[in-house]
Structure 1
Amino acid sequence: MLNILFVIGFVLLAAVLVRLLFLDKCFIDNISSKVILVTGCRAGFGRAFVEKCLNEGMTVFAACRTQSGANQLAKDFDNLPGKLIAFAMDVTSDEDVERARLMVQDYLDGCGKDLHAIVNNAGIHDKLFVDDGLTIDDYKHSMEVNAYGVIRVTKAFKSMLKRAKGRIVTCTSCAVRFPSPAMGPYVASKWAVTGYMEVLRTSKGKGYCKPPKKEKVLRNAGVCRCFTRSGQRQY
């Protein structure tokens, strides 16, 4: 009898530990009530992520670089259960980002919700060539979008996240681990934004928490095709 009680107790304890240490970090309560902001949503990872979140019933602010991209996204996902607010925002523009910040803040104030997450997905990889054939402007362009764009958006919306103890998700690249001689601007910009995320991850202060570092590698055929086309143009 004691052995049976011991086994039952052990199983219950294990179940509680699994819930506390693992499951609570994998699943989000009331996910359909969450509001998130995603950048770079016209295609690829951003578009797929928006679709997934809308299917979960979430409210998604989806930023595209152009208004035509935002209009097409709204048309394509019109029948999904979540609420989509697609809009144009250039992450290199202070004015665009500030306009988006005010729009999101007005929405949150009106519905009494908080911003649950920022997903920094907007990025470019348009200069593929050996370093001797690149200019400083080539590097500046990649840095402006891939690094400063992420920093600009994050700093604009970070105060909203602090209230909800929300999340910052940033797409960098496996290129920071496996660099190529022909990808100088791209790799440098992704290293820069990786460093910025590490700074935020280890920051301490009101509204900050220190989440575990999580790196995931995703492969996207569209990205691979884009690299190929860009390389062909450069060479």
Structure 2
Amino acid sequence: MVKPLYLFYCASLAGLSAILGLLLLLSHCAPVLYYLCTGILMGSVGYCLVLYLAPKSRVNGNGKAVFITGCDSGFGFGLAKRLDSLGFTVFAGCLLADSGGEGSKKLRAECSSRLSTVQIDVTDDGQVKAAVQQVKDRLPTGSKGLYALVNNAGVTQPGEVEWVSIAAYRHVMEVDTFGTVRVTKAFLPLIRREKGRVVNISSVNGLYPSPMAGTYSMAKAAVEFFSDALRHEMHKWGVKVVIVEPESFARATDMFLPAVFNKFVQVRRLQHSSIQQL
């Protein structure tokens, strides 16, 4: 099998050869056009070099506060540690912060004093309200509000539409969609004060639904449209709304733990056996 990198090199060489051949032809047939095309080509190459060699700017995290949901594991856990290492004041929202969850314990043990864990169940209005108050009380000195809110908390229920219960559909929507809406609405005043940004973790499943992921695809599609509407509304306030659409990171996010996945396979086999018996 031909390696993709090898194909890229071959295609680049073929493209460069074609361009040089065209320039050589133009130099004999149309000198003015030759100089024009050569100038455009050299300018484009120079522009690309400047972009590549120019020093990359990095946001200074000093005095900037970020609230992240779903930090018990996966993306949220990793992002909380990363932003803490960059100097941000991190509020790591964990479902099990007050219940001895391993994720919140590790964050408190491995990160600086700038990071604090916050108990939050995104389906609970009372816990969301309490989280907002905790953030207000612990904002860094000189900060007017939140630099960023990252809606990362999410769950899924795999299975074919016929076999997934309505209760499971409601639960996934309540966490993935209404949880995002609930937390965003609660924190928007703090975001507006700082002219910050809302980052919603969606999924490619919100754009391209796949079999066995009907609940998740439906919930994430709603997040996509909610984010787009919010972006228009927040433009006048200088607030940015960003959608992140990961693809195949189920194991990295702990959405499919081995025990959970194995149980799912067993249930599917029982379902197929029941159908065959009918």
Residue aligning to 2:212: 182
Q: Whole-Å Cα distance in 2 between the matches of residues 139 and 193 of structure 1?
A: 15
Say if 2:70 is the partner of 1:40: yes
Residue type at the aligned position of 1:59: T
Q: Whole-Å Cα distance in 1 between the matches of residues 239 and 113 of structure 2?
A: 28
TM-score by length of 1: 0.79
Say if 2:225 is the partner of 1:195: yes
* Superimposed CA distance per residue, residues 34-69 of structure 1 (whole angstroms, 9 cap, x where no aligned partner): 110000001100000001011112111111111235
- Provide the secondary structure at the position in 1 that maps to 2:233: coil
Counterpart among 100, 103, 114 of residue 83 in structure 1: 114
Counterpart among 171, 174, 182 of residue 152 in structure 1: 182
Q: Whole-Å Cα distance in 1 between the matches of residues 94 and 86 of structure 2?
A: 21
Residue type at the aligned position of 2:154: G
Residue aligning to 1:56: 86
Number of residue pairs the alignment of both structures matches? 216
Q: Residue 233 of structure 1: CA displacement?
A: 5.3
Q: Whole-Å Cα distance in 1 between the matches of residues 252 and 70 of structure 2?
A: 14
Q: Whole-Å Cα distance in 2 between the matches of residues 39 and 69 of structure 1?
A: 17
Q: Residue 165 of structure 1: CA displacement?
A: 0.8
Counterpart among 265, 271, 274 of residue 232 in structure 1: 265
Contact kept in structure 2, 1:203 and 1:210, CA below 8 Å: no
* Superimposed CA distance per residue, residues 154-184 of structure 1 (whole angstroms, 9 cap, x where no aligned partner): 0000111111110111111111233222111
The higher relative CO (CA closer than 8 Å, separation ≥ 6) is in: 1
- Provide the secondary structure at the position in 1 that maps to 2:109: coil
Q: Whole-Å Cα distance in 2 between the matches of residues 59 and 96 of structure 1?
A: 21
Q: Whole-Å Cα distance in 1 between the matches of residues 95 and 261 of structure 2?
A: 22
Q: Whole-Å Cα distance in 1 between the matches of residues 102 and 246 of structure 2?
A: 30
Counterpart among 57, 61, 66 of residue 31 in structure 1: 61
Is 221-230 or 170-179 further displaced after alignment? 221-230
Q: Whole-Å Cα distance in 1 between the matches of residues 218 and 230 of structure 2?
A: 19
Structure 1's unaligned 5+ residue stretches are: 1-9
Is 111-120 or 173-182 further displaced after alignment? 173-182
- Provide the secondary structure at the position in 1 that maps to 2:147: strand
Q: 1:153 to 1:211 in 2, by over 3 A?
A: closer
Contact kept in structure 1, 2:203 and 2:245, CA below 8 Å: no
Q: 1:205 to 1:170 in 2, by over 3 A?
A: closer
Is 73-82 or 115-124 further displaced after alignment? 73-82
Say if 2:173 is the partner of 1:121: no
Q: Compare CA radii of gyration and give the structure with the larger one.
A: 2
* Superimposed CA distance per residue, residues 166-225 of structure 1 (whole angstroms, 9 cap, x where no aligned partner): 011111111123322211111111111111001112225642445677655573533474
Residue type at the aligned position of 1:107: R
Identity of aligned pairs, percent?
Answer: 31
TM-score by length of 2: 0.67
Q: Whole-Å Cα distance in 2 between the matches of residues 81 and 129 of structure 1?
A: 41
Structure 2's unaligned 5+ residue stretches are: 1-42, 269-278
Residue aligning to 1:100: 131
**RMSD in angstroms over aligned alpha carbons?**
3.0
- Provide the secondary structure at the position in 1 that maps to 2:116: strand
